[in-house]
Structure 1
Amino acid sequence: MDTERDTAADIALIQRISAVPTILQLLCETTGLGFAAVARVTDEAWTACAVLDRVGFGLQPGSTLELTTTFCQGICRTRTPVIFDHASTDADFRDHPTPKLYGFESYISVPIIRRDGSVFGTICGLDPKPVPLRGGKVLPVLTLFAELVAAQLEIEERLDASRTALLDAEAMGALREQFIAVLGHDLRNPLAAVSAGVTLLARRPQDDRTPAILGRMRQSCRRMAALVDDILDFARGRLGGGIAVRRDLVALAAPLHEVVDELRSVHPTRDIRAEIALPDPVRCDPRRIAQLLSNLLANALTHGAPDRPVRVTARGTAGGLTLAVANEGPPIPPGTRARLFQPFSRDADGPRAGLGLGLYIAAEIARSHGGTLGVVSDAAGTAFTLDLPPG
Structure 2
Amino acid sequence: MNDTINSDVEAIGRIDAIPAILDVACRVTGLRFAAVARVTESRWICCAVRDDIALGLVPGGELEIATTICDEIRAGGQAVIIDHVAEDVAWSGHHTPKLYGFQSYISMPIILRDGSFFGTLCALDPEPATLSTPDIISTFKLFAELIALHLESQSRLALSEAALLDAQETAELREQFIAVLGHDLRNPVAAIEAGAAMLAKAPPDEKSARIIAMVEDSCKRMTGLIGDVLDFARGRLGSGLTLVRQIDGGLRAALDQVVVETRAAYPGRQIARRFDLQEQVDCDTQRIAQLLANLLTNALTHGDKDSVVRASAESRGGIFTLSVVNHGQPIPSDKRARLFQPFTRMDEGRPQGLGLGLYIVSAIAKAHGGTVDVTSTAAETVFTLTMPNRG
The match for 1:81 is 79
1:209 counterpart SS class: helix
Q: What amino acid sits opposite 1:272 in the alignment?
A: I
2:206 counterpart SS class: coil
Q: Taking structure 1 as reference, are residues 355 and 124 closer, same or farther at Cα in structure 2, changes over 3 Å only?
A: same
Contact 1:250 1:281 in 2 (8 A): no
Cα separation, 2, equivalents of 1:243 and 1:308: 36
Shift of 1:266: 1.8
CA displacement 1:132-187 (0-9 Å, x = unmatched):
22225111111111111111222111111111111111111111111111211211
Contact 1:302 1:351 in 2 (8 A): no
- RMSD, aligned α-carbons: 1.9
Moved more, 291-300 or 336-345: 336-345
The match for 1:108 is 106
Q: Taking structure 1 as reference, are residues 87 and 58 closer, same or farther at Cα in structure 2, changes over 3 Å only?
A: same
1:133 counterpart SS class: coil
Q: What amino acid sits opposite 1:293 in the alignment?
A: L
Written as runs of structure 1 = structure 2, the 5 A alignment for 1:140-159 is 140-159=138-157
The match for 2:222 is 224
2:169 counterpart SS class: helix
2:282 counterpart SS class: strand
CA displacement 1:296-335 (0-9 Å, x = unmatched):
0001111212222111112332565322110112222222
The match for 1:315 is 314
Cα separation, 1, equivalents of 2:118 and 2:253: 59
The match for 1:215 is 213
The match for 2:163 is 165
Return the match for 2:129 from 123, 128, 131: 131
Moved more, 283-292 or 239-248: 239-248
Count of equivalent residues: 389
Shift of 1:348: 5.6
Q: Taking structure 1 as reference, are residues 202 and 9 closer, same or farther at Cα in structure 2, changes over 3 Å only?
A: same
Structure 1 length normalisation: TM-score?
0.94
Cα separation, 1, equivalents of 2:350 and 2:87: 82
The match for 1:257 is 256
Moved more, 167-176 or 302-311: 302-311
Q: Taking structure 1 as reference, are residues 242 and 65 closer, same or farther at Cα in structure 2, changes over 3 Å only?
A: farther
CA displacement 1:250-307 (0-9 Å, x = unmatched):
3333222221122222221322222234476543322111111100000111121222
Cα separation, 1, equivalents of 2:347 and 2:242: 27
Contact 2:180 2:354 in 1 (8 A): yes
Q: What amino acid sits opposite 2:323 in the alignment?
A: A
Q: Taking structure 1 as reference, are residues 348 and 169 closer, same or farther at Cα in structure 2, changes over 3 Å only?
A: farther
Q: What amino acid sits opposite 1:327 in the alignment?
A: N
The match for 1:237 is 235
Q: What amino acid sits opposite 1:91 in the alignment?
A: V
The match for 2:180 is 182
Moved more, 241-250 or 205-214: 241-250
Return the match for 1:20 from 18, 21, 26: 18
For structure 2, list consecutive stretches of 5 or more residues without a partner in the other structure.
none
Written as runs of structure 1 = structure 2, the 5 A alignment for 1:365-376 is 365-376=364-375
Q: What amino acid sits opposite 2:204 in the alignment?
A: Q
Contact 2:330 2:380 in 1 (8 A): yes
Cα separation, 2, equivalents of 1:114 and 1:315: 51
Q: Taking structure 1 as reference, are residues 195 and 153 closer, same or farther at Cα in structure 2, changes over 3 Å only?
A: same
Cα separation, 2, equivalents of 1:55 and 1:280: 66
Q: What amino acid sits opposite 2:132 in the alignment?
A: R
The match for 1:355 is 354
Q: What amino acid sits opposite 1:159 in the alignment?
A: L
The match for 1:331 is 330
Q: Taking structure 1 as reference, are residues 350 and 54 closer, same or farther at Cα in structure 2, changes over 3 Å only?
A: farther
Q: What amino acid sits opposite 1:200 in the alignment?
A: M
Structure 2 length normalisation: TM-score?
0.94
Cα separation, 1, equivalents of 2:352 and 2:261: 17
Q: Percent same amino acid among aligned pairs?
A: 51
Shift of 1:45: 0.9
Cα separation, 2, equivalents of 1:24 and 1:236: 52
Shift of 1:208: 1.7
The match for 1:298 is 297
Q: Taking structure 1 as reference, are residues 382 and 12 closer, same or farther at Cα in structure 2, changes over 3 Å only?
A: same
CA displacement 1:67-104 (0-9 Å, x = unmatched):
11111122122221111122233222121110111122
For structure 1, list consecutive stretches of 5 or more residues without a partner in the other structure.
none
1:44 counterpart SS class: coil
